[in-house]
Amino acid sequence: MTTSASACLPEYHEWEDYLGAKDDKSIYLRKCGAEARNLHFGKRVFVRGVIELSNYCRENCSYCGMRRDNRTLSRFRLQRDRIVQMIECGLPPSITDLNLQTGEDPRVIEEVVLPVVQYLRTHTTLGISLCLGTLDSSVLNSLRSAGAFYYILKLETGDEDHYADMSAPGTYKERMGAIYSLVSSGWKVSSGMILGLPRQTSKMAVETLRLLTQLPLSGVSVSPFISGDETPFAGKSSPEASSVIHALALLRLANPQRIIPAVSALSLLGNDAYGEALEAGANLVTINLTPAKERDNYLLYKRKRFIVDDKKVRDVLHKADLEPSQTSMAEHFHP
């Protein structure tokens, strides 16, 4: 019998214990997360491609290898024609949506991102999502008018002092304001957190999870902290994979209608962690389409990232008894 998400959702004061849940409690939480996903989405999982267009970044986040103070990083910007050629040569057939992602690089927006969005809208039926950092409202309006509909703007930590401590973009209040502004101007918005950041207490983590459940979001994510060799946090430890899975399940139970990705970084914590995210309620997987030459320099954490390809997606969905969605995220939100 399927149990409702609200019936499964632990009381807020129990969340800290559930992050470290073991044995039967862990199994129960994951099962409830999967049932909540299935109730709202069936066994369909959205398959999105991502192209990382630029690793230039004006921000200096302590947890990111693309931070502006990393002077050893080889910077790149992909050109519009190269991206169009990639798309024209054919994407994996399971992909229904495409995410264009960059460091916070204003120059690449007008030169590459906007014309690529216009091309995608004119020549494909793909849903278009963007992860470009904080931008002026006029630029965002142009991107929205061109055909993009979904914007990813991570919060990373919901504690204002911790946010400043991590040298995250701008200020905490500015980031929160940007999220609300995106929503009010018509974007479907996804945000998320990094679990296990240095100097993040378990109370901070739970407060961030709770905040994410209360924001007017269409999607939400939880990623594990992975120490970057070219950051101030090199050598710092990562969280247990199970705690990330449990955080994901809590987010699913709190807001069962949201898009929640299984993030590729989970695979750096254990061979089965990526699949476990799907078994706990995730409903989005992302195939990396960034050309191999540039991929290692898109340095979110380590150069040798775990790269999800079409075969990995098919295998992990089959193992979890799930299937690729035949409709895009865009069609899901705007049928």
Q: What is the mean pLDDT of residues 267-295?
A: 94
Q: How far apart are CA 31 and CA 25, in angstroms?
A: 10
The total number of residues shown for the chain amounts to: 335
- Supply the pLDDT for residue 306: 79
Categorize the per-residue pLDDT at 1 as very low, low, confident or very high, splitting at 50, 70 and 90: very low
Q: How far apart are CA 206 and CA 14, in angstroms?
A: 10
Nearest to 317 by CA among 265, 291, 266, 282: 282
Beta strand ranges found along the chain (DSSP E): 44-54, 97-102, 127-131, 150-152, 188-195, 219-224, 284-288, 323-324
Q: Is 193 helix (H, G, I), strand (E, B) or coil?
A: strand
Least confident of 2-11, 54-63, 203-212: 2-11
Q: What is the mean pLDDT of residues 93-107?
A: 97
- Residue 3 reports pLDDT greater than 70: no
> What are the residues whose beta carbons fall under 8 Å from the beta carbon of 164, sequence distance 6 or more?
171, 172
CATH of residue 128: 3.20.20.70
Q: What confidence tens digit (pLDDT) does each residue in 194-209 have?
A: 999 999 999 999 999 9
Please compute, for residue 82, the number of CA atoms within 13 A of its CA located in the half-sphere on the CB side.
15
- Residue 181 reports pLDDT greater than 90: yes
pTM equals 0.96
Output the average pLDDT for the chain.
95
Categorize the per-residue pLDDT at 6 as very low, low, confident or very high, splitting at 50, 70 and 90: confident
> What are the residues whose beta carbons fall under 8 Å from the beta carbon of 250, sequence distance 6 or more?
9, 10, 15, 18, 19, 29, 33, 209
Q: CA 198, 53, 288 angle in degrees (round to 5)?
A: 75
What would you measure as the largest C-alpha separation in the chain, in angstroms?
A: 56
Query: Over pLDDT 70: what percentage of the chain?
Result: 99
For the chain, report the end-to-end CA distance as a whole number of angstroms. 30
In sequence order, what DSSP letters do the residues of 303-322 get, joined into one string?
A: SS-----HHHHHHHHHHTT-
Nearest to 281 by CA among 95, 94, 42: 42
> What are the residues whose beta carbons fall under 8 Å from the beta carbon of 288, sequence distance 6 or more?
49, 50, 52, 264, 295, 307, 308, 309
Number of domains in the chain: 1
Q: What is the mean pLDDT of residues 113-122?
A: 98
Q: Residue 255: enclosing H or E segment and its boundaries?
A: none
- Supply the pLDDT for residue 335: 84
Q: How far apart are CA 335 and CA 307, in angstroms?
A: 31
Categorize the per-residue pLDDT at 5 as very low, low, confident or very high, splitting at 50, 70 and 90: confident
Q: What confidence tens digit (pLDDT) does each residue in 159-180 have?
A: 999 999 999 999 999 999 999 9
Range of the domain at 268: 5-333
Q: Residue 65: enclosing H or E segment and its boundaries?
A: none
- Partners of 97 in beta bridges: 48, 127
DSSP 266: G
Categorize the per-residue pLDDT at 40 as very low, low, confident or very high, splitting at 50, 70 and 90: very high
Both tokens of 307, joined, read 């790269």
Q: What is the mean pLDDT of residues 261-287?
A: 94
